Amino acid sequence: MNPAWSDGYHTELAYPAFFHRELTPAWLAAVAAALGYRAPDLSAPYTWCELGCGPGLGALITASANPGGRFHAVDFDPAAVVHARALAEESGIANVHFLHTGFATLAEADETALPPLDFIVLHGVLSWISPANRRAVLRIVKRWLKPGGIACLAYMSQPGGAPMMALQRLLRRCAETSASAEAGIGTGSALLRALRDGGAGQFAVVRGLGVQLDHMAAQSSGYLAHEFLGEYWEPLHVADVLTALAEADCGFLGSATPSENIDAVSIPAQSLPAIAALEDAALRETAKDIARNQSLRRDIYQRAPRPLSAAGHRAALESLCLIALPGAPKEGALRFETRVGPVDGPAVMFSPLLAALADGKSHGFGDLMTHPDYAGCGGLLSQAIQMLLWAGYLHPVLPVADAAPAQALNRALWRACAAGREYGWVAAPAIGSGLPADRAAMLAAHALQQNPALRGKALVDAVGALDGGKTDAAALAGFEREILPVWRRLGVLAAG
């Protein structure tokens, strides 16, 4: 199924384009500060590298939205790198370099293959590659990550990923015995649904496994192939990853998923006393994974960790600026759906923060601390911010040196959408990150790029000409009313 050069990794179907906000410099710096560590200075030139970049969407969005950084992205798939370079050239993104090589080759390359790096990130890759390539990734981290640099490693984890192991083997076997990987995915998925609907024991015993199967049914064959058909597919144990990173002089800081850094909302209350008594980091994180039935971890490590003093921690938090994102509630109590069930956020904790950010402007942590409801309660405000970050309601703000690269990339993404290829994300330079964008929004932005004066029915008609009238007028009205103003504030497209 795989040519020899792939070392057991699936290559028959193209890897889909993805963007992960947790891998961006602004996100990692903000979460590290909340955890009490000094992150690389984003106001000075910095370097960032993604290992396993696929077709390059994540690297391109991040680079275009952060013109002050230098970005490197590595992948062994020649077709993926060709795609990434072509999109970079079309958009004129000059601060990103795509390197076509394998991890084992890079790990032993000349020292000049990469510059010293402030950030090294990868998502999913560790769970899909061979043990030899995992060791190569760690060698890359050890060779090129600067002291004080941040590594973010996202990977499938135990014990939550364990129930998928038998399903993965079934899908892989179906692919091996079918005419193509796509046919095998179809056959295997149908077989799994038949087993579930027929009362198969694993689905009866493992609560939620049937829901995961339904989620898989909504994904493309390319996604499922890369997610499940690799020869070395394996959910990893956090203790093993912590031990391996320690050999590269990297200490564990916490999770790039902010809610998981707040035990009170991410761990069942009855388990908290047992976990709180654990001093060994590997044992504590393993216990947390069991308590959460963790299936995906996004670990943040720092080379030669740099903890902040109490005064330094306070200063780092006070320097944080935030802005509301499309869809953020204006006030009221919130309910967060977490791995351990729904968690209710009281209005007294969240309403003042949501109301302050509802004006569409950026607000500093220090200014928010002057609100009567947060005065003297910096810890409460920090936790409220971390939960709203995780929920996608707000984001750290960066000074925008130049919005032009992000807007050039967005125009290329809109053109691609109009031509039938959907990427699903746009670059937002004010937050140094990306925002999700459905087809209606992408086509509307494309139409507005051609004619900024379009409004109301004229915008509906213009989008209808692009997609044959398939886009719902109500969806476009919602975009024009709720999303477009925020996109303009965040630099997604030029102000009208």
pLDDT in tens, the chain (496 residues): 455 567 888 888 888 899 999 999 999 999 999 999 999 999 999 999 999 999 999 999 999 999 999 999 999 999 999 999 999 999 999 999 999 999 999 999 999 999 999 999 999 999 999 999 999 999 999 999 999 999 999 999 999 999 999 999 999 999 999 999 999 999 999 999 999 999 999 999 998 899 999 999 889 999 999 999 999 999 999 999 999 999 999 999 999 999 999 999 999 999 999 999 999 999 999 999 999 999 999 999 999 999 999 999 999 999 999 999 999 999 888 999 888 888 888 988 899 999 999 999 999 998 998 888 888 888 889 999 999 999 999 999 988 779 999 999 999 999 999 999 989 999 999 999 999 999 999 999 999 999 999 999 999 999 999 988 888 888 899 999 999 999 999 999 988 6
Q: What is the DSSP letter of 466?
A: H
Give residue 484's pLDDT. 94
Give residue 5's pLDDT. 61
341, HSE (Cβ side, Cα atoms, 13 Å): 6
Q: Give the residue among 465, 406, 478 at the shortest CA–CA distance from 438.
A: 478
Residues 6+ apart with CB under 8 A from 415: 446
Strand partners, 298: 154
Distances (CA, A) of 86 to 18, 193, 221, 223: 17, 39, 24, 22
Q: What does the longest C-alpha to C-alpha distance in the chain come to? A: 66
Give residue 6's pLDDT. 76
Is the preceding peptide bond at 159 cis, omega within 30 degrees of 0?
A: yes
Classify residue 68 as exposed, middle or buried by CB count within 10 Å of its CB (0-12, 13-18, 19+): middle
**Tally of CB atoms within 10 A around 199:** 8
DSSP string spanning 241-294?
HHHHHHTTTEEEEEESSGGGG-HHHHS-GGGHHHHHT---HHHHHHHHHHHHT-
- Evaluate whether 387 touches 336 at the Cβ level (below 8 Å): yes
C-alpha–C-alpha distance, residues 444 and 473, integer Å:
11
Q: Which amino acid is at 160?
A: G
Scored b (16 or more CB within 10 A) or e, 249-271 reads ebbbbbbbbbbbbbeebbbeeeb
Q: Structure tokens of 357?
A: 């950010």
Give residue 83's pLDDT. 97
Q: Is the dihedral of CA 29, 30, 33, 35 positive or negative?
A: negative
C-alpha–C-alpha distance, residues 86 and 91, integer Å:
9
Give residue 473's pLDDT. 86
Residue ranges covered by each domain of the chain: 4-159+235-303, 164-228, 329-391, 404-489
Strands 433-436 and 425-428, by their bridges, are: antiparallel
C-alpha–C-alpha distance, residues 63 and 113, integer Å:
19
Q: Which of 3.20.20.10, 3.40.50.2300, 3.40.50.150, 3.40.50.300 would CATH assign to domain 4-159+235-303?
A: 3.40.50.150
Q: Give the residue among 192, 193, 137 at the shortest CA–CA distance from 167.
A: 192
C-alpha–C-alpha distance, residues 240 and 286, integer Å:
10
Cα distance between the two ends of the chain: 51
Quickly list H helices, 419-455.
Answer: 439-450
C-alpha–C-alpha distance, residues 426 and 414, integer Å:
9
